Amino acid sequence: MRVRMTQQSTEVPLLIQAIADAAHVPIPNLMKVWEREGEKDLPFVRRIVELKLLPPNIAYSLFAGSMGLPFEDPDPYDLDPDLVAAVPEDLIRRYKAIPLRLEDGIYIVGMENPLDLIAVDSLQDVLKAPILSAVVPPETLEACIQARMQAGEGVESLLARLDLGGLEANEQVDPKTLRNIAGNDVIIKMVDSFVDQGLRRKASDIHIEPGEDFLRIRFRVDGHLETGHKLPKTLHAAILSRVKILSNMDISERRKPQDGRFGIDVKGKGAVEFRVSTLPSVHGEKAVLRILDKRNLSLELTKQGFSQSQAEAIQKQASSPNGLVLVTGPTGSGKTTTLYGVLNYLNTENRNLITVEDPVEYKLSGVTQVQVDTKAERTFAGALRSILRQDPDVIMVGEIRDRETAEISLHASLTGHMVLSTLHTNSSLGTVTRLVDMGIERYLLAPTLRAIVAQRLIRKLCPVCSKPAQPNREILEQFGLSPDDPRLTFREAVGCPTCRNQGFSGRLPILEVLVWNKQLERALASGAEENELQEIAKRTGFKNMMVDGAKKALKGLTTLEEVLSATRF
């Protein structure tokens, strides 16, 4: 392990320094862990991951950097099966090593222990070519090995042996034939591989979309779509039929949108659910699979990205015996996750919590959850009326969409219930305007509001490859910051294998938390408009989303450009 000298002239291994910087853990604490692991790098990194000080991809990337080795985080289903087949199965299992790609006559090989010279020599003898050992997170490496051992084929290889009996693109096929081709072993493996890739990429959605001449598979990762595969259009009917069968849809219905759901069990990690919708288009049906992975759901507000003071403010207001707490933002901004975090905080033995949602995204223990069903005439408003007869303490309404739902929610909050809900508005005070526009009386709304949270999700900088940078003067001035202030430090995106060369990894919320107070209550009841309420809120300490975003950019978590892209409205 390479070392560097600190100001006290003591030798600190570079790996420990890098992990200390990334995990914000004091160096002396890490030195103790390193010593307990025999001052050996790999056991030390494994222990760091076990202690959950860093995610595996970041910890092993830092290890690779400290050793001058390449870091790889491959998708198991993107590996070349012919390349993998060049190494006997017994060697792959013995050395926990697998070829990733061939570059200029050199094999890049992912290895459990890239410092194992015996393994390197053995692999070079088999491949008859030089190899470059690469660091791969153990879980990813094992997934690569298992995928190759079990499936033995990637998407390209599957395509090579697929036979759909001369089926043409856009051909109308009877339901029996559709079931037969959807049951084709290759089609089953192909759809399974898309699902697996979505999970490994930590995607929120998988898009299966037909074009005029091809079928495109895309994954929404950190809010942005990435193309995974472009396939022959002839596969469209087979792949869509397989998805419909999984989701209990009618495979013969192609003219109407359909909704369905299915779940899979991820070995050793629990169940993951998929919410599926289809939509007829001019080029054929498109399907979107929303991934509902409860493993990635954090029910603690501070772990979702709220500061301690923001979380405490919301929790305090939501703990009131009655009132209205609202969360606002566009679709996909994390509103439901925030409400689940509030519900989790309120979920105690002495409270009766009931939700009405469309749809129920995650099942919460200890909470009665009701799903809207328009076919059964179970609307938000209708379900709310029934819930009020169930002796609730806390009611969560998935969304206030119309005046009727708004009026019943307000009535519930005025009669001794805490009501949590969401709306689609641009800002916290825009929520007040929206409710008034729906026909809610100001004098009724003013005393019932407790807090309003407005939020957006923006991309987080990759902690491995981001580097110091200074935004241009124009951007700084939009935030009211001086370009000449030496205290301002920012970082920018670069791109590395850890973040799939995107420069960003994961998302975090930028927030404005408006705690309702007597000044705002009196002003609203007296007819004050949104701009007047804004001024009153500022005088009582309210900070908007841009301020919260700037604080997170100054901490190196994101960029000012990301904040601006989410707050321009």
Domain ranges in the chain? Answer: 14-67, 81-150, 155-293, 301-457+508-551
- CA–CA distance, 29 with 16 (Å, rounded to integer): 10
CA dist., res. 478 & res. 486, Å (int): 18
Which parts of the chain sit beneath pLDDT 50?
A: 1, 3-9, 151-152
Report the pLDDT value the prediction gives residue 296, as an integer from 0 to 100: 74
Superfamily holding 301-457+508-551: P-loop containing nucleotide triphosphate hydrolases (3.40.50.300)
Largest CA distance in the chain: 84
CATH architecture of 81-150: 2-Layer Sandwich (3.30)
Q: Which two tokens stand for residue 191?
A: 């759809």
Q: How many residues does the chain have?
A: 569
The per-residue pLDDT for 149 is 64
Quote the CA–CA distance of 104 and 116 in Å, as a whole number.
23
Determine the 3-state secondary structure of 112 from DSSP.
coil
3-state secondary structure of 54: coil
Write down the H helix ranges in 274-379.
301-304, 308-318, 335-346
What single-letter DSSP state applies at residue 235?
Answer: G
Identical fold for domains 81-150 and 301-457+508-551, yes or no, is no
What's the pLDDT tens digit per position in 124-150? 999 888 999 999 999 889 888 876 665
Name, in order, each residue with C-beta under 8 angstroms of 425's C-beta and a sequence gap of 6 or more.
328, 329, 431, 433, 434, 454
Q: Give the whole-angstrom CA distance, residue 78 versus residue 96.
A: 18
Task: Please give the CATH number for the structural domain made up of 155-293.
Answer: 3.30.450.90
Q: What span, in angstroms and rounded, lies between the C-alpha atoms of 357 and 340? A: 12
Locus of tokens 């219905």: 253
